[in-house]
Amino acid sequence: MADEQVNPCALSYKVLAECSTTKARTAILTLPHYEVETPVFMPVGTQGTMKGLTSKQLTELDCQIILGNTYHLGMRPGTEILEKAGGLHGFMNWKRALLTDSGGFQMVSLLKLAEITEEGVKFQSPHDGQEMLLTPEKSTEIQNSIGADIIMQLDDVVSSTTTGPRVEEAMERSIRWLDRCIGAHARPTQQNLFAIIQGGLDPELRKTCIDEMVKRDTPGIAIGGLSGGEEKSLFCKTVSLCTDLLPKSKPRYLMGVGYAVDLVVCCALGVDMFDCVYPTRTARFGTALVPWGQLHLKNKQYTMDFEPIDRDCGCLTCKHHTRAYINCLLGREEVACHLLTIHNIYYQMQLMRDIRESIKQDKFPEFVQRFMKRMFPDNIYPDWAQKALASVNILLDSQQTRLSDSKQQTLLTKHDNNTSGECVSSIVSDEK
Amino acid sequence: MNFAVHKTICSCRVGVLRLENHEIQTPGCSLYSRGGAVPHLATDVLHSIGNLPSIVHLSLQTIIDQPGTKVINKSSYNGIKQFLGVEEFISYLSIQDPVQDIREGYNEEKTVSVWTPGGRKKIDVNQFITVLKAFKPNIAECLCDTIPASGQTEKRIRKSVDRTLNFLDKCIEEKEMSKDVTSCNLFGVIEGSHSEKERIRSAKDTSQRPVAGFVLEGFSSSASDWCKLLEKTVESLPDDKPRLIHGIGTPDEVVAAVACGIDIFDSSYPLTSSRRQTKVVFISSLRKVSVHTQPLSLVEQWLSRLVASMYTARLMRLEQQKLTTIKLKLPQTFHASSHTWYSAAERGCALDIKWSRKRFKPELTYSPSAPEALKGEQTSSDDSLNQLSNSTDKKEPMDKGTLYEINLNHSRYSSDFTPLVSSCTCYCCTNHTRAYIYHLLVTKEMLAKVLLMTHNLQEYFQFFSQIRLSIEEDKFQMLKEDFLANSFSLTERCLVP
């Protein structure tokens, strides 16, 4: 399918099966270093390592593609060393696929003093206080040195809750920056540059952005500017609008999404790739992901709980250790973080495997129903998820009548907070 | 438990400790754990390490508050091993965590204090028996009043020996009365700090009790003449029981202690070196070269300037040459003399939190242990090298670990794409480079410690198999001379005769 492209491209995207009910699809995304099965979740290994796990463990966990952060890697170890080491692949000895972000998001999120101009993102280096400028050209150059299979354009990121002319400005600038990134991209036959759709929550702006960016014919396209604290229903609408308009023959990457419920819903909306720090970060805070939500293993109730985290889980942690054991190590030994990171990544990978398998068998709607029922055993689903799934013809057997019950309403809110909080940055405050 | 010595040369011996279908070859070491986990290593990573010991070392200090006896009693587990997921090991329970310093002045007539993450905990004989009943260790160090290796008054030392004997008598008494703990092998503890007289008394009196083995406490290589003292102490112990020691861990110390007749060590040294973020290549004096590190803050200011001046391309080239020499020469020399130990001539160690806590600024310094190493290469700038070496010797006794370590936290490794130790077969060395480890260290990524631990433990465990082999093949004397000669060129330490 991708063969028809005129522009140089270093991937092929072959759809294996499409869900007959929803927009979900499963495909083989062949990248220079690995054949990735989509829909895929990509764990975030910010600085060339996945939070204490070895490359071997990541391979055994079935991670197919992982993320590196251009901003961090450009600072340390720096492009010179990365190039000498044969790119990030060689440096960290990772044989499978890699993706790097553009670095723009970190500048805006980590740095108070970032200033965005037409030229690029101006910021103060946290290391030596020097003023630096990250331009689309510079970002692409660094990413070329890192050598990931997929690289991202520098985009003008605004918070998804921003309204007014700034959103439009950011969207239009992102298009101009895409052109500059394409122009600067030195290795289009080895690395795939993805465009990032901006436009906030405004359907018109999103449409304009998609029109323009699709014309640039990049090997894949990302949906950016979401998952930043916006209302969930608007988030789903925007994702759905984008997947409707994006070409079917190219992979679609939804940035910054990683909660289980969000993954399932967005797969139904036709997204292929996801990334999020959530599973690994929450592991370090002592939280285990399970099909019915989360376990905060630091809590006292687990000190004498001799069950594995999840009886049905096949990960190393669940096979060898109990909740009580992890509870006893948490906060004292780093091994506890490693064990939880292993479990959480395994959980995410298993979820994506299940999604892919159900699409292949054309049983994805049944899978979604089962999944949602397990996550919300009272059949009281978050409204946004219910509506989003209904928009792709999956009806959850929710008891609408019970919603009037005020007790149930409270439950609903609780679930909403626990399992699909608004944004990644709120996770820290979730933790007790 | 059954212990059989099958070869003795002078005081040093090889033996087998048989326990629960395990055959533990001695001299050997246990697998250090803290809070019931081997620091930094998840189960799968741990089992990727070669020559893993059969004994896991638990310390009461780190497991008494969490998980604690209550949790284990509540579970359906038969002892703590199952809870920790280490059923495949023999468990040995010590009172204190050998990595932490002994706090003085907190032990009382009837209780011993352990400092847990939750604070001070006093343990009396009854509580100790409760612990044995709940945790069911295969081997347990008896409750003991351990005091530091130096700076103690005669009176305090005597009290320590008396109390420890008293604890032992009571524990034996209690143990006989309760069926639950009969399967536990109780090791008597030898105290006596730096007093030879008290050491011998402790050894002799403990030997008269029905103990399964001995733990030698309160030894530290920082005390002068520790070897002589250890030798005298061991002489007073019966030959048919295993002897375990804490506080002695660097390769040269281990060799010296093995020569005195010690059978089992703890493996806290590879951890403490992982903590200092150094990994070591140890090169024997026979090679006439040695690479080692010294924390900058330990050296005088002017020295740091020297270090800076030394950090030159020339020096790096020099060092590279040394390393290359080793690599090239090693196999031939090794086979020629069939001096088995040299296959382990390159030693590794690496480090962590303790380092930063002491506010050390890890920097590399080089000083050839044998000045002849530089013969034929003497240039004016080599003088500074020798100066440094000499001054280091004079000013500071070397940190015992440093001889065996390369401090990877130095920017010179930032683009060094060679493995930690090129001949090493561990996961870290076969998969990663020094540059990557350096990057992980500067970015404070957890994987740094994981990888360094993997390497260091494998090196350390292999070191013990080499010691055993050298005794079996009647080559221990050579090994010992190499090791001790090397440490001697740097520090004035007592040589075991």
Contact B7, B14 (CB under 8 A): yes
Of B42, B414, B443, the CB nearest to A47: B443
- Give the span between the Cα atoms of B280 and B270, in whole angstroms: 10
DSSP state letter for B34: B
Q: Is A101 one of the catalytic residues? A: yes
Q: Please count the residues of chain A.
A: 432
Instruction: Determine, for residues B66 and A57 on separate chains, whether the beta-carbon distance falls below 8 Å.
Output: no
The minimum CA-CA distance between B115 and chain A, rounded to whole Å, is: 14
**pLDDT > 90 fraction of chain A, expressed in percent and rounded:** 81
Digit-coded pLDDT (tens) for B105-163: 999 999 999 999 889 999 999 999 999 999 999 999 999 999 999 999 999 999 999 99
Of B431, B433, B447, the CB nearest to A52: B447
- Give the span between the Cα atoms of A115 and A133, in whole angstroms: 9
- Tell me, yes or no, if B74 comes closer than 8 A to chain A by beta carbon: yes
Instruction: Determine, for residues A54 and B435 on separate chains, whether the beta-carbon distance falls below 8 Å.
Output: no
C-alpha angle with apex A93: B292 to B279, nearest 5 degrees?
15
The minimum CA-CA distance between A387 and chain B, rounded to whole Å, is: 42
- Give the span between the Cα atoms of A153 and B381, in whole angstroms: 51
Instruction: Determine, for residues B442 and A76 on separate chains, whether the beta-carbon distance falls below 8 Å.
Output: yes
- Tell me, yes or no, if B69 comes closer than 8 A to chain A by beta carbon: no
Of B37, B44, B75, the CB nearest to A306: B75
- List residues forming the annotated binding site of A for Zn(2+): 313, 315, 318, 343
B227 is in an annotated binding site: no
* pLDDT of amino acid A111: 62
The minimum CA-CA distance between B244 and chain A, rounded to whole Å, is: 26
Q: Picking from A324-328, A415-419, B195-199, which range would have the lowest pLDDT averaged per residue? A: A415-419
- Tell me, yes or no, if A45 comes closer than 8 A to chain B by beta carbon: no
* pLDDT of amino acid B268: 84
Instruction: Determine, for residues B75 and A304 on separate chains, whether the beta-carbon distance falls below 8 Å.
Output: yes
- Tell me, yes or no, if A159 comes closer than 8 A to chain B by beta carbon: no
Range A413-417, long-range pairs (CB < 8 A, 24+ positions): A415/A376, A415/A380, A415/A382, A416/A382
- Give the span between the Cα atoms of A307 and B77, in whole angstroms: 12
- Give the span between the Cα atoms of B9 and B245, in whole angstroms: 20
Q: Sorting pLDDT into bands at 50, 70 and 90, what band is A159?
A: confident
- Enter the tokens of residue B82: 């199952």
Q: Sorting pLDDT into bands at 50, 70 and 90, what band is A8?
A: confident
- Give the span between the Cα atoms of B493 and B248, in whole angstroms: 14
Burial of residue B497 (number of CB atoms within 10 Å: 0-12, 13-18, 19+): exposed
Q: Which of A177, A139, A29 is nearest to A197 (CA)?
A: A177
Contact B479, B259 (CB under 8 A): no
How many CB atoms are closer than 10 A to CB A120?
22
Contact B147, B160 (CB under 8 A): yes
* Contacts A339 to B, Cβ<8 Å: 42
Beta bridge partners of A97: A65
Query: Whole-model pTM?
Result: 0.85
When comparing pLDDT for B267 and A391, which is higher? A391
Of A53, A322, A333, the CB nearest to B39: A333
Q: Which of A134, A50, A140 is nearest to A338 (CA)?
A: A50
* pLDDT of amino acid B483: 73
* pLDDT of amino acid B480: 84
B424 is in an annotated binding site: yes
Instruction: Determine, for residues A303 and B71 on separate chains, whether the beta-carbon distance falls below 8 Å.
Output: yes
Whether residue A123 is predicted with pLDDT greater than 60 in this model: the reply is yes
> Which residue among A149, A262, A272, A275 is the active-site one?
A275
Of A303, A316, A332, the CB nearest to B44: A316
Burial of residue A298 (number of CB atoms within 10 Å: 0-12, 13-18, 19+): middle
When comparing pLDDT for A154 and B315, which is higher? A154
Contact A214, A223 (CB under 8 A): no
Substitution target in B47, B72, B450, B455 with the highest count of A β-carbons within 10 Å is B450
Mean pLDDT of residues grouped by 10 in chain B (497 residues)?
94 95 95 92 94 96 94 94 95 93 91 93 96 96 95 96 97 91 94 96 98 96 89 96 93 90 90 57 30 31 33 37 35 25 25 23 32 31 34 34 66 90 88 94 90 88 89 89 61 36
Q: What letter represents residue A398's amino acid?
A: S
- Give the span between the Cα atoms of B369 and B391, in whole angstroms: 12
H-run or E-run covering A260: helix A260-268
Q: Is A405 one of the catalytic residues? A: no
- Tell me, yes or no, if A127 comes closer than 8 A to chain B by beta carbon: no
CA B143 to chain centre: 22
Of B39, B427, B439, the CB nearest to A48: B439
How many CB atoms are closer than 10 A to CB B414?
17
> Which residue among A101, A149, A156, A262 is the active-site one?
A101
> How many helices (H) does chain B have, and how many strands (E)?
18, 16
* pLDDT of amino acid A132: 85
Q: Sorting pLDDT into bands at 50, 70 and 90, what band is A313?
A: very high
Residues in A 338-397 with any Cβ partner in B closer than 8 A = 338-339, 342
Beta bridge partners of B188: B214
* pLDDT of amino acid B275: 55
* pLDDT of amino acid B406: 72
- List residues forming the annotated binding site of A: 101-105, 155, 198, 225, 313, 315, 318, 343
- Tell me, yes or no, if B418 comes closer than 8 A to chain A by beta carbon: no
The minimum CA-CA distance between B439 and chain A, rounded to whole Å, is: 6
Q: Sorting pLDDT into bands at 50, 70 and 90, what band is A18?
A: very high
Please name the residue of chain A whose CA is at the shortest distance from the CA of residue B86.
A320
* pLDDT of amino acid B316: 38
- Give the span between the Cα atoms of A106 and A69, in whole angstroms: 8
Cα-Cα end-to-end distance for chain A: 49
The minimum CA-CA distance between A75 and chain B, rounded to whole Å, is: 10
Instruction: Determine, for residues A306 and B435 on separate chains, whether the beta-carbon distance falls below 8 Å.
Output: no
* Contacts B435 to A, Cβ<8 Å: 77, 81, 85, 91
- Tell me, yes or no, if B2 comes closer than 8 A to chain A by beta carbon: no
Please name the residue of chain A whose CA is at the shortest distance from the CA of residue B439.
A77
* pLDDT of amino acid A27: 98
- In this prediction the ipTM stands at 0.91
**Does residue B279 sit in helix, strand or coil?**
strand
Q: Which of B135, B184, B191, B185 is nearest to B166 (CA)?
A: B191
Q: Which residues contact A30 (CB under 8 A, 6 or more apart)?
A: A11, A12, A13, A14, A36
The minimum CA-CA distance between A100 and chain B, rounded to whole Å, is: 18
Of A54, A324, A328, the CB nearest to B450: A54
- Give the span between the Cα atoms of A357 and A335, in whole angstroms: 32
- Give the span between the Cα atoms of B461 and B271, in whole angstroms: 13
Please name the residue of chain B whose CA is at the shortest distance from the CA of residue A95.
B431
The minimum CA-CA distance between B336 and chain A, rounded to whole Å, is: 37
Whether residue A400 is predicted with pLDDT greater than 90 in this model: the reply is no
* pLDDT of amino acid B300: 29
- Tell me, yes or no, if B77 comes closer than 8 A to chain A by beta carbon: yes
- Tell me, yes or no, if B172 comes closer than 8 A to chain A by beta carbon: no
How many CB atoms are closer than 10 A to CB B301?
7
- Give the span between the Cα atoms of A217 and A6, in whole angstroms: 8
Residues in B 102-121 with any Cβ partner in A closer than 8 A = 117
Q: Which of B69, B74, B77, B83 is nearest to B33 (CA)?
A: B83
H-run or E-run covering B133: helix B125-135
